[in-house]
Structure 1
């Protein structure tokens, strides 16, 4: 389980996260929704040990990410694209990630096949399209066969076929008992995939619950989203 407990983050006099608390549970797809600048990326970065909170905690299976012995075997993530150097091939990039985390090299070919890049593994990342870069980022996230996936805008740059593919992959991961936490601006995709929703605005959680609970009394998820967030841009990213 991914647990966020009263997270506080400040940048100067500005409060970016104001006692943010929620959980993403095994066997469920949890969608983290909010306007640009609401605090989604800051929350995920703290979870993954890329930033520090000024208060509260974010735990992966009861432990801080930085204390995990084999982090890529526990949680795989996409935050800022593939993270690969443009001059490297996809295969070389994944081989380095696998080697640095004690993951068998055979997993490189397996994940390239899994994300549809088997024929492009020898191509330099600088020649990849945005969608191919997203697939490569997901391949890196899957290398360690992690229990949890944390994905920031995972369908960015994907064509309709790619969006359908990733929807199926994430659904299967959750149905097999894994945890999926994703952020997205695509309300239609979220409505068709998520079990649970967490809505943030201005650095504060404004609503959590199942899809049915969050949208109750509204015409659908989009109407609920704008009503709950006020259509604003939030306080900070």
Structure 2
């Protein structure tokens, strides 16, 4: 599971995270909801060891990311883009990522099949569409068959069929017992997939609970969000 405990972080003079605390549990999709600039990506970067907090802890399966010996076997992450060099083919990129974590090369074909890119393995990443790049990033996240998935705006660039596929894929991952943390500002999409919701606004957690608890008393998750934040999009 994922445990974030009282994480605070400054960037220059600006306080961008204020005592952020929440959990994401196995077998459930946790939606991490907030408008652009609310602190979602900053929280994920602390969680994945890319940034250090001024205080607090971020644990994945009980350990900081930096203490994971072969991190891809514990957590798969999709942040901005695919992470692939534009001149590399998808297959070459994934083979390099697999080798960096001591994973067998056979996993490359397997994950390309899962995300629907097997026919484009020899295409250079620079020729991929935005949606294809997101699928390639997801393939890299799956290489180690991790128990935790952390995904930042995973449907960005996907067409309607791709969005539907991603929704079904993530529900299946949770059904298999994995912890799925899905960061997004798309409230309708989150409402269709999330078991639990964490709302962040201006670097602070406003509420967390099941989807029903967070939307309680409101017709939609969108209505609940605007009531909580007192803001318009």
Tell me which interval the TM-score lies in, with the shorter structure as reference length: over 0.9
Q: Mean Cα displacement is larger for which, 184-193 or 38-47?
A: 184-193
2:8 pairs with 1:8: yes
| Equivalent residue, structure 1, for 2:102 | 102
Q: Counterparts of 2:181 and 2:228 in 1: how far apart (Å)?
A: 20
CA drift of 1:189 comes to 1.4
2:223 pairs with 1:223: yes
CA drift of 1:185 comes to 1.9
SS in 1 for 2:192: helix
SS in 1 for 2:191: helix
| Equivalent residue, structure 1, for 2:25 | 25
4+ runs of 1 displaced by more than 4 Å? Answer: none
| Equivalent residue, structure 2, for 1:198 | 198
TM-score by length of structure 2 reads 0.98
Q: Counterparts of 1:222 and 1:178 in 2: how far apart (Å)?
A: 27
| Equivalent residue, structure 2, for 1:59 | 59
2:182 pairs with 1:182: yes
| Equivalent residue, structure 1, for 2:68 | 68
Q: Counterparts of 2:13 and 2:90 in 1: how far apart (Å)?
A: 42
CA drift of 1:232 comes to 6.0
Any idea what the Cα deviations from partners look like across 1:68-125, whole Å, max 9, x if unmatched? 0110000000111100000000000000000111011000000001000000000001
Q: Counterparts of 1:58 and 1:186 in 2: how far apart (Å)?
A: 25
2:87 pairs with 1:87: yes
CA drift of 1:230 comes to 2.4
Q: Counterparts of 2:203 and 2:189 in 1: how far apart (Å)?
A: 24
Any idea what the Cα deviations from partners look like across 1:16-37, whole Å, max 9, x if unmatched? 1100000000001000001111
TM-score by length of structure 1 reads 0.96
CA drift of 1:162 comes to 0.6
Aligned-pair RMSD on alpha carbons? 1.0
| Equivalent residue, structure 2, for 1:154 | 154
1:200–1:229 Cα contact (<8 Å) kept: no
Q: Counterparts of 1:55 and 1:192 in 2: how far apart (Å)?
A: 34
SS in 2 for 1:137: helix
Q: Counterparts of 2:184 and 2:230 in 1: how far apart (Å)?
A: 18
| Equivalent residue, structure 2, for 1:112 | 112
Q: Counterparts of 2:232 and 2:9 in 1: how far apart (Å)?
A: 20
Any idea what the Cα deviations from partners look like across 1:125-168, whole Å, max 9, x if unmatched? 11100000000000000000000000000000001111111111
1:35–1:229 Cα contact (<8 Å) kept: no
Would you say how many aligned residue pairs link Structure 1 and Structure 2?
233
Q: Trace 1:203-218 onto structure 2 (pairs within 5 A).
A: 203-218=203-218
CA drift of 1:188 comes to 1.7
